Amino acid sequence: MNEDLQQQLLTCDKEPIHIPGAIQPHGYLLAIDKAAFTIKYMSENISGLTGLSAAELLGHDYKILFEKKNIQLRSSYLSQLKDFADDNEEQKLAALQVKINDKPWFLLAHKSAGNIVLEFEPADTKMDIEIQQVLGASVSQILDGNNINRSLQNAAKKIKEIIHYERIMIYKFWEDGHGEVIAEEKEEDQEAFLGLHYPASDIPKQARELYKINLTRIIADVPATTVPLLAQGTNGNATPLDLTHSSLRAVSPIHIEYLKNMGVLASYSISLIVNNQLWGLIACHNSAPKFIDHKAREATKLIGQILSSAIEYREEESSKNSYRHYTSSINEIIKSLQDNDTIIKALVESSAHIMSLTSAKGLAIVFGNELYTNGITPPTEAITELRDWLAENNDQQIYHTESLSAEYKPAANWVLDASGLLACELSKEMGEYIFWFKPEIIKTVNWAGNPEKLEVKDVNGNIRISPRRSFESWMEQVKQHSDPWTRGEFAAVIKLREDVIQAISLKANQLRLLNEKLQQAYDELDTFSFTISHDLKTPLASVKNYTEILLEENTSFSDDEINMLRRIVKGADKMHVLINEVLAYSRIGRKNITGEEINMNELAEELVTEIRTAYKDIQPAIRVSELPPLYGDRTMLNQLFTNLLSNAVKYSSKKQTPEISFSGENFPHETVYKITDNGIGIDMSFGNQIFDIFKRMSNAASYEGSGVGLSIVKRIVERHNGKIWYESELGNGTVFYLSFPKQRNTL
Ligand code: ADP
């Protein structure tokens, strides 16, 4: 809507329609002071009824009016009025039938500020019996069965039977305030208005407020000249009389103009109030002036109230049904959130339930680094882009639109699948969302006249809303729009969000607890390893020492016995090594890495010297090429290369000439080292099993070892974010490759 138009609407919204200063000419009005009972206001035409001038009436005791012979009033009414004035609760007095000039009239009394307003209206006694008959049958017919359309239609029909207007329409107000004719009773020769839409501006805001307070309104003769109200001591600044509750209230000239333009000369409407909101109107039109008396209005008001109750009941039923459906779906989702160890797994598993929380045709879940879709959705790249746009531009936890392309241009490429979006933000920082998509529905809205052409300037040049001149049906094709999102859908999605967020924080808490437990377990394992190794090493040392003493000091042992004792010593040594290695292995995972640039040529030289000393009998040929430096933990890398080089020598030691080579090369993103031997080789079908702790190949049985070395190597490589793999041929040797990323900050 353009700004001008909005301004016009505002102007119209400001018209003080409750104090028009005039009444319709079919009745008389006077207002008396609640305390003094003097006449404060009167409609100008009262003089015609009483023969008394305004000067004779205004400011005088109201009884002067009823002393006139032509107004026949029960004397008790005056004391009833006094009681009414004193009663702070009562706002309205029951209508009283009076005779004026021997004709039946209704006298209606209500309070307005410090006044009691008395209104005289003609009564149509002929109608009484008819009303009784129609009303009797109405209730059951309006509440008939489960069909709300039938209830609406019956209500319209009953009202037509009571008031005999040519056209009875039932409007329903949409959430944006515009109205649609959803039921109609009319004369056969009249053009149908059923299905037509009326712009929200046709009924300004303050009129809607009045419709909620005063449930029926009649304009008996649209073109008739209104009768001004005169106030006591009027000098132009008397407080205007508030006619909110008046039945004779003159209506806004704009509205009169509007009705005339529509060809309506009598108009009557009944409010439909559902859950304290103006749900709709029963609007009755007649092409000739036609008054409806108080009794008939009361009867139709009753029909309106019955219909309102029927609608309220229906809406409650359907919202209960949806609630039941949502609750059972949400329960399934909660169950899945509890049963699954990850949120995304739970959401994906229950995606059908999540989708069914709304009438969407497509669903997307963006969580962690994953994107899951179900049903009709935009392409996956488009969903990620949409997510980025939302995270950047939207602060609402629940965002919705029926026309995404109007707000997000790229959506124009996939309007067919997703014109409507309902987005539930789970975490803005992480860009985690659930999206529901509704497809494009091309709707044809039949407007009663072009809703955009409402502007008009009054004589003073002020912009006012136009009393529409044209009601010629105007068709609008609404494209790139989906069906609207309903309040029930929002409620379900808000509830879902609560549950998912609760599950996320629960999972985070569980993870924290688990971490703490793990930390505790690690600490216990540390103490355990130390204790065990200490407790094992001490008796082991005793076993070894005492055996060695036995061997040295006792000369009476036979050769066999000496052999046995030597094997005990050897076994104890082996066990000692094993304990140290297991301890080393258990520590690698937890040890903090202290990174430094290591000169690999120097390190290799030290290692080779050590190895040559250890294998001095074998004289292995170890060739080390120029090695690129490596960034890492010195102790760990020392351990790593010692293990690999020792293995290379050990498993080639039975060859005639063991040949080992150690080389390295720089690549753009990684440094790769290579250790080659010509030893027994590894059966490659074992794959990575050789890196498992205690795993030894059958061809290595005659070589000493514990099966821990390579598992330590693998752990160290992983701690340095590197990779290790090998190539081998049984009997011909093995090549181990090690690759380390060049990026240091990953350590
Ligand atoms: P071990 O103490 O037995 O050498 P490792 O963990 O170092 O334990 O190695 C695991 C197994 O992998 C060895 O038992 C052996 O079967 C095989 N292996 C490791 N390195 C070599 C190699 N260079 N040549 C042949 N086999 C090897």
Q: For the segment 674-718, what is each residue's pLDDT rounded down to a tens digit?
A: 999 999 999 999 899 999 988 999 999 999 888 999 999 999 999
Residue 566 tokens read as 């030597």
Q: Pocket around ligand 1: residues whose beta carbon is below 6 Å from it?
A: 643, 647-648, 651, 677, 679-682, 690, 695-697, 700, 705-711, 734
What is the structure's pLDDT at 3?
42
> Which atom of ligand 1 is nearest the CA belonging to 697?
16
Whether the CA torsion 507, 508, 509, 514 is positive or negative: it is positive
For ligand 1, mutation pick of 696, 703, 724 (most atoms within 8 Å of CB): 696
Q: In angstroms, rounded to a whole number, what is the distance separating the alpha carbons of residues 53 and 426?
A: 75
What is the structure's pLDDT at 460?
67
DSSP state of 358: S
What is the structure's pLDDT at 4?
40
Q: pLDDT by residue (tens digit) across 614-638? A: 888 888 999 999 999 999 999 899 9
What is the structure's pLDDT at 465?
56
> Which atom of ligand 1 is nearest the CA belonging to 700?
16
Calculate how far, in angstroms, residue 696's C-alpha sits from the geometric centre of ligand 1.
6
Q: What angle is formed at CA 183 by the lines to CA 177 and CA 186, rounded to 5 degrees?
A: 120
Q: In angstroms, rounded to a whole number, what is the distance separating the alpha carbons of residues 533 and 578?
A: 10
Nearest CA-CA partner of 726 in 696, 685, 670: 685
Task: Output the pTM of the full model.
Answer: 0.62
Ranges of H-type helices in 111-239:
127-142, 148-163, 205-213
What is the structure's pLDDT at 606?
94
Calculate how far, in angstroms, residue 489's C-alpha sits from the geometric centre of ligand 1.
64
Q: CB of 719 within 8 A of CB of 636?
A: yes
Q: Whose CA is nearest to atom 27 of ligand 1?
A: 682
Calculate how far, in angstroms, residue 70's C-alpha sits from the geometric centre of ligand 1.
126
Kindly give the parts of the chain with pLDDT less than 70. 1-15, 127-129, 145, 234-237, 451-466, 470, 589-590, 744-747
Calculate how far, in angstroms, residue 422's C-alpha sits from the geometric centre of ligand 1.
60
Q: In angstroms, rounded to a whole number, what is the distance separating the alpha carbons of residues 619 and 64?
A: 140
Q: Whose CA is nearest to atom 23 of ligand 1?
A: 648
Name 197's bridge partners. Answer: 180, 447
The terminus-to-terminus CA distance of the chain in angstroms comes to 59
What is the amino acid identity at position 307? Answer: L
